[in-house]
Amino acid sequence: QSALTQPASVSGSPGQSITISCTGTSSDVGGYNYVSWYQQHPGKAPKLMIFDVSKRPSGVSNRFSGSKSGNTASLTISGLQAEDEADYYCSSYTSSITWVFGGGTKLTVL
């Protein structure tokens, strides 16, 4: 199972919005509404930000939103803040009854 494709890096200024893409195939992202997004700060465990494509866990800011079109899922962060600077990973269920992660995207807040 190949890793999902994410941009290596994205950047934005405080207050702006950014979108991170996550591209897979019809056997994973495109075939199921089981895409999750994680935020990871250096030296810390990942934190769940979005699950089931667009659902937010309790306690996660509504500045974070998720969507999907075809084989590509997206995470949008609006009103960018300094503390949003982190690595972001997408994950998807696959037809093999396994999960696969994206390669990760480093978000820099300028």
Contacts with another protein, residue ranges (CB under 8 A): 1, 3, 33-34, 36, 38, 40, 45-48, 50-52, 55, 57, 89, 91-93, 96-104
CB 18 to another protein: min, Å: 19
CB 52 to another protein: min, Å: 5
Give the separation between CA 94 and CA 107, rounded to whole angstroms. 26
CB 104 to another protein: min, Å: 4
Task: State the virtual CA torsion across 73, 77, 82, 83 in degrees, nearest 10.
Answer: -70
Complex with another protein: residue 15 or 22, whichever CB lies closer: 22
Complex with another protein: residue 11 or 99, whichever CB lies closer: 99
DSSP letter at 61 equals -
DSSP letter at 84 equals G
List the one residue out of 47, 21, 41 whose CA is nearest residue 86: 41
Complex with another protein: residue 1 or 19, whichever CB lies closer: 1
Complex with another protein: residue 66 or 80, whichever CB lies closer: 66
CB 99 to another protein: min, Å: 4
Which SS3 state, helix, strand or coil, does residue 30 take?
A: helix
Give the separation between CA 106 and CA 77, rounded to whole angstroms. 13
